[in-house]
Amino acid sequence: MPEVRPSTLLILLATALCACATPPRPLPAADTFAFANRLSWGANSASLRQLETEGADAYLGHQLRPSPDAELPPAVQSQVAALEISRKPMTVLASELEEQRKTADAMGDEGQKKAAQQAYQQHMNQLARETATRSLLRDLYSPQQLQEQMTWFWLNHFSVHQYKGPLRFMLADYEDRIRSHALGRFRDLLELSSHHPAMLVYLDNNQNALGHLNENYARELMELHTLGVNGGYSQHDVQELARILTGLGVNLAGQPPHLKRDWQSQYWSRNLVEFNPARHDYGDKIFLGHPIRGRGSDELEEVLDRLARHPATARFLSRKLALYFTGNAPSPVLLDRLAQRYLSSDGQIGAVLQTLFESAEFRASLGKDFKDPVHYVVSAVRLAYDGKTILNADPMLGWLNRMGEAFYGHTTPEGYPLTASGWASPGQMNTRIEIAKTIGSGNAGLFRSAGPAPVERAAFPQLSNALYYRYWQASLGPATRAALEQAQTPQEWNTFLLASPEFMYR
């Protein structure tokens, strides 16, 4: 296969690095392609057809209010249905894995024990890989593109790290629950994250008990999930919230604790999370200046209501949503409008997004928002193969690992950066050009299934097509046009387009 000339790639790299500081020529504000490119994981023929058929208003309405009946294409759905995470609910996985772990730990022969423990860890890794694969398949092929983008946004907002304890088998359930509320009411998202074993394990609330306070989750619940670092809370509020959160933990054993008769009515357990009244601080508290009567798990419900409806939460989330969808912090005027819409709609995310998408700042940002690694990889595959179903997502997972944005891979709870400064480095751009070359040459391995009896399908990317001539061509600057004109093979042409500075933006 002909080699892509390194000299031209170096020129594109230099141009792309300059573009990180000065974005390429913006697309017209009303351009159909720019709008579809921002609301989706990357415009392709299907998203553009949908937008043009429905019209901008109806398209936006359908994206903001996703249908529960929307389905993936049959070939994609069959892949998702075959995954173990699709066949077994989290509670069943917990039971099976706990038995596997106990059996391994009880083995007397050290060699057998080590092998069994390794098999347990590999099983956990496989479940996490399946969850990431399913995420990519949904991002690539779901007609509900905005819902999939917002699922990623909230997973990053309520970030967990997969290698904390037994968290890996919990990821699929965690993601599904977030996805179901990704465009709904923020209070519901806050509820599900605070009552999910993945969050409680990751931020150590299963270690938080009367007399042994652990403040990790209490602090991040305010600093990262709701009020923001300057949200007006104090260290005393962190301590009081930690007291309120005592007793809320994770039970993988499946057996309820032995409790005194007076506490048995207060105990509850669902979806591996339990409230153990023997571990709860029943004293009264003062939180954000308001008295909280000590009475058990209902204390947390009262606090979540207050946090979700707090003006600081409205501003913190509005700013973060604007950053995600425009690449810039909103002006004070727009931030006020978004925050007011949040408060007047009782935290309806879709309502806030509609206000954002109708703003002049959003329209002016089209074509100027630098793609993070996930957007770059997914948009490249969506454009290159335009709906053709991949058979193996492992290459995409590998690219994301190389670029530092692996699914569930951020070790600290603030999540990945939402702006260009977190990603626009020479090393990052060089890796993107290597990925562009791999995809553009047709050697990515996306159409060769994994396993002992792999299936391979022919699929060569054809980027010089009607989609390019109708939409992409008009947005390209002189340097990119010159590079494309110099391409001597389809492989080179594909690589130059995917490595162009214009393709780095959405």
Domains of the chain, residue spans = 6-43+368-504, 74-226+228-308, 311-365
Q: Residue type for 483, please? A: A
Tokens encoding 434: 């290597």
Chain segment 470-484, per-residue pLDDT in tens: 888 888 999 999 999
Q: Residue type for 265, please? A: S
Model pLDDT, residue 6: 60
Q: Residue written as tokens 């702006």?
A: 419
pLDDT band at 26 (very low <50, low <70, confident <90, very high): very low
Percent of the chain exceeding pLDDT 70 equals 94
User: CA 163 to CA 468: how far, in whole Å?
Assistant: 41
Quote the DSSP letter at residue 231: S
Q: Across-strand partners of 209?
A: 212
Model pLDDT, residue 450: 86
Mean pLDDT over each residue of the chain, to the nearest integer: 93
User: CA 42 to CA 65: how far, in whole Å?
Assistant: 19
Contacts 24+ apart (CB under 8 A), 50-57: 50/143, 56/32
Q: What is the mean pLDDT of residues 270-281?
A: 97
User: CA 69 to CA 378: how far, in whole Å?
Assistant: 24
User: 146: helix, coil or strand?
Assistant: helix
Model pLDDT, residue 132: 98
Model pLDDT, residue 13: 54
pLDDT band at 70 (very low <50, low <70, confident <90, very high): confident
pLDDT of residue 272 exceeding 70, the answer is yes
Strands 248-250 and 273-275: antiparallel
pLDDT of residue 278 exceeding 50, the answer is yes
pLDDT band at 8 (very low <50, low <70, confident <90, very high): low
Q: What torsion, rounded to 10 degrees, do the Cα atoms 133, 135, 139, 140 define? A: 20
**Helices and strands in the chain: count of H runs, count of E runs:** 26, 5
By the 8 A CB rule, do 163 and 126 touch?
no
Model pLDDT, residue 254: 84
Chain segment 91-104, per-residue pLDDT in tens: 999 999 999 999 99
Q: Residue written as tokens 């060089």?
A: 430
Model pLDDT, residue 3: 59
pLDDT of residue 250 exceeding 60, the answer is yes
Model pLDDT, residue 30: 41
Count CB neighbours of 80 within 10 A.
Answer: 16
Give the DSSP H or E segment for 406: none
Model pLDDT, residue 25: 46
Identify the weakest region by mean pLDDT among 28-42, 140-154, 167-181, 346-360: 28-42
Strands 248-250 and 268-270: unpaired
Q: Residue type for 495, please? A: T
Count CB neighbours of 294 within 10 A.
Answer: 13
User: CA 23 to CA 8: how far, in whole Å?
Assistant: 20
Quote the DSSP letter at residue 297: T
Model pLDDT, residue 472: 87
pTM beyond cutoff 0.85: yes
Phi/psi class of residue 211: alpha, beta or left (left: φ > 0; alpha: ψ in -120 to 50)? left
Model pLDDT, residue 228: 97
Q: Residue type for 100, please? A: Q
